[in-house]
Structure 1
Amino acid sequence: MRFYIQQFIRTIMMAVFAVFFLRLHVTGELARYVNPKYDGMSQLAAVIFVFLTFIQFSRIWKSKKDNQAHCSKECSHHHGDDHSFLKKVISYVILIFPLLTGFSLPPQTLNSSLAENKGTLLSEGQSLDIVQESDDHQYFPAVENTDKNHNEKPLPNNNYLQEEAYQKKMKTLEDVHSIDMNEDIFSSYYEVIRASPRDFVGKNITLQGFIYREEGLHSNQLVISRFLITHCIADASVIGLLTEFEQASSYEKDTWMEIEGTLDVTTHNGAELPIIKAKRGRVIKEPSNPYIYPVLRKMTD
């Protein structure tokens, strides 16, 4: 029997890839890389790598007789790979590199630095004309670092909705006086509010997000933001609502907050934008899954 080192290396690589995918599912870290709708595909990938591991394992040891039986002394062709040693090394490095980074570097949550690199979150322009705020509802109590209601794990993000349920939620947005920007409907609500801000003036709103600041904002302004993931982290885009309150300058960027306030309208270089006149706010812990996803509407059961 002959031991084949290349087959052994490939077996180890297949096994490690399988462990990596299984680890992402067990720890729940997969959602920090891709949209949860791809859970099934990643599970299938893990199964495939397990299968390939067993296939490769059977090739580690082979009989010399079996290996040479089909070739005579005059045989001039070469067995095994025809690639040069350098090409083999490069191919292994390409495969090993994502494993090394995947295991050695913990997944990092996207933050305002990426938002800054992607450019302006609000409408384009340099000037910012703010609607005059009313002092009688600018009450912002002392910040709390923890809250018993937010020690619990957030519900798993389910970005699938039946068409009937989706239409009901969108109808609720028009009828209710208080809007709760839950993760499962956040992107759809945001799109409607951003498109027709005057339709929601005076309505109460509650949302959670991280602090992002753009150049040109007043000292009492910031943006409560979320990263929207369509497929994977690479296509992440930041969305958020301009928020105004007296203590805004005392909070660091990337701080996670829950804001309650009243929707109003402001202008940014001639474009109307929704703005939250904050009444209450508090610092919260970053959610276990800080991203939001587009609503995928199911037409049938």
Structure 2
Amino acid sequence: MDQTRLKRHYLIRSVILTGFTLLLTYLIVSEKLSHYLAPRLHMFSYVTLGILVILTVVSIRQAIVGANEYDCDCEDVHKVPRSPWISLIVYGLFLLPLAMGFLMPDKILGSDVAEKRGITLLSNDVRKLAEVAAATESAKSNTDIADNRNSTDPSLSAGDTKPAPEAGSEQVEESNQEQGPSDATQQEPADIEDEQIRKRFDTNGFGDFYTDLAVSLYKQPVIDLHEKVFLDGLTTMELYAKEFAGKEMEILGFVYRQTDFSAEQFVVARFSVSCCTADASVFGILVEKPDGSKWAKDSWVKVRGKLELRKVDGFDMLMLKANQVEPVKAPKDPYVYYSYDAASNS
């Protein structure tokens, strides 16, 4: 193949590579990369951008200087297309997504996608955890009863309720009683409050992560379910629905409605992304307000109200009885993600 035709192919490739480099640069600089990828994958995009820059520079050099076709045993694998129609098909496969990236607007996911994928108000995982916790609690109580029965000493007379105290035990008890008040006074009021609140949550067996987050959220006069605790906060409140009933909460998200909703009902929802928008799931909480129908679908709102307990399919589910709904702009990163440090972010 002559050098002029070969340079022409490398020029087309340089244009395509330059286009992808500029598109990825635009997404990173404009902070719109989060519309497509989860933050934990952004580093791979930066590496990809560096590789694209190198490939673009090499391709431009070959388009200017020229290059010889590869001479190897790979047959036609490395050779440029020889037919105009094949060239159109091959390069068109790259130009089409490039044109879509530049011409189509960056649109965040909304109700149309939520309707197709369904929205999670009470997740199956939470239901399973609730069933496991109930079974565990039942087994524990049965074990305690059995232990109490086995601990009865048949050698005691009918009038005895406990064995005689051993020598020195009275002194130990008196010592413990003397130390008790002094230890209690050494505790900070905040620590005592945390312990009292923790007793509400640590009996259900859901683990320290959810217990810590439950305590952190419960201490807030108005629970702020912001993006860093959105998913874990919803899960925690689902696990401890009875404990959180009656608490004030503030939440931000887009308006979603189903056809079977009443005029006063809508869902404040957010999309959760694990890797990219292709695996996005929808989570939210049901809201009730007398004038709820005035808020347009897919509009972003900040809602404040009181949590109320409802029975759904035999499970306790929290809904938000709103007293204030405020229109807001969609955040730069509209999606939410699970966090392993949610308690410290609440």
TM-score normalised by the shorter chain: which range applies? 0.7 to 0.9
Q: In proportion to residue count, which structure has more helix?
A: 2
State TM-score, norm by structure 2: 0.65
Q: Which residue of 2 aligns with 1:96?
A: 95
From 54, 65, 76, the counterpart of 1:51? 54
- Does 2:70 correspond to 1:38? no
Mapping for residues 11-90 of structure 1, pairs under 5 Å: 11-62=14-65, 67=68, 81=79, 85=83, 86-90=85-89
Q: Structure 2 vs 1, CA of residues 120 and 50 (structure 1 numbering), >3 Å: closer, same or farther?
A: closer
- Please list every run of 5 or more consecutive structure 1 residues that lacks an aligned counterpart in the other structure: 71-76, 125-163
- Does 2:327 correspond to 1:283? yes
Mapping for residues 151-300 of structure 1, pairs under 5 Å: 169=213, 171-296=215-340
State TM-score, norm by structure 1: 0.74
In structure 2, what is the Cα distance between the partners aligned to 1:167 and 1:269?
25
- Seq. identity, %: 27
Q: Contact 1:120 / 1:214 at 8 angstroms: preserved in 2?
A: no
**Letter of the aligned partner of 1:2 in structure 2?**
Q
**Letter of the aligned partner of 2:30 in structure 1?**
T
In structure 2, what is the Cα distance between the partners aligned to 1:267 and 1:200?
15
SS of the residue aligned with 1:285?
coil
Q: Contact 2:10 / 2:63 at 8 angstroms: preserved in 1?
A: yes
Per-residue deviation, residues 104-124 of structure 1 (Å, max 9, x unmatched)? 111111111111111354469
Per-residue deviation, residues 188-224 of structure 1 (Å, max 9, x unmatched)? 1011112331121111100111111123222221111
Kindly state the Cα deviation for residue 267 of structure 1 after the two structures are TM-superposed: 2.2
After TM superposition, the structure 1 stretch with the greater mean CA deviation from structure 2, 242-251 or 175-184, is 175-184
Q: Report the count of equivalent residues.
A: 250
Q: In proportion to residue count, which structure has more strand?
A: 1
SS of the residue aligned with 2:310?
strand
Q: Contact 2:213 / 2:236 at 8 angstroms: preserved in 1?
A: no
Q: Contact 1:2 / 1:62 at 8 angstroms: preserved in 2?
A: no
SS of the residue aligned with 1:60?
helix
Q: Structure 2 vs 1, CA of residues 44 and 273 (structure 1 numbering), >3 Å: closer, same or farther?
A: same
In structure 1, what is the Cα distance between the partners aligned to 2:290 and 2:68?
79
Q: Structure 2 vs 1, CA of residues 297 and 206 (structure 1 numbering), >3 Å: closer, same or farther?
A: closer
Kindly state the Cα deviation for residue 166 of structure 1 after the two structures are TM-superposed: 9.8
Kindly state the Cα deviation for residue 61 of structure 1 after the two structures are TM-superposed: 4.2
Kindly state the Cα deviation for residue 170 of structure 1 after the two structures are TM-superposed: 5.0
Q: Structure 2 vs 1, CA of residues 120 and 27 (structure 1 numbering), >3 Å: closer, same or farther?
A: closer
Q: Structure 2 vs 1, CA of residues 169 and 283 (structure 1 numbering), >3 Å: closer, same or farther?
A: same
SS of the residue aligned with 1:58?
helix
Q: Contact 1:206 / 1:258 at 8 angstroms: preserved in 2?
A: yes
Kindly state the Cα deviation for residue 45 of structure 1 after the two structures are TM-superposed: 0.9
SS of the residue aligned with 1:230?
coil
**Letter of the aligned partner of 2:114 in structure 1?**
A
Q: Contact 2:9 / 2:80 at 8 angstroms: preserved in 1?
A: no
Q: Which residue of 2 aligns with 1:117?
A: 116
In structure 2, what is the Cα distance between the partners aligned to 1:80 and 1:113?
44
Q: Contact 1:209 / 1:257 at 8 angstroms: preserved in 2?
A: yes
**Letter of the aligned partner of 2:313 in structure 1?**
N
Q: Contact 2:10 / 2:62 at 8 angstroms: preserved in 1?
A: yes
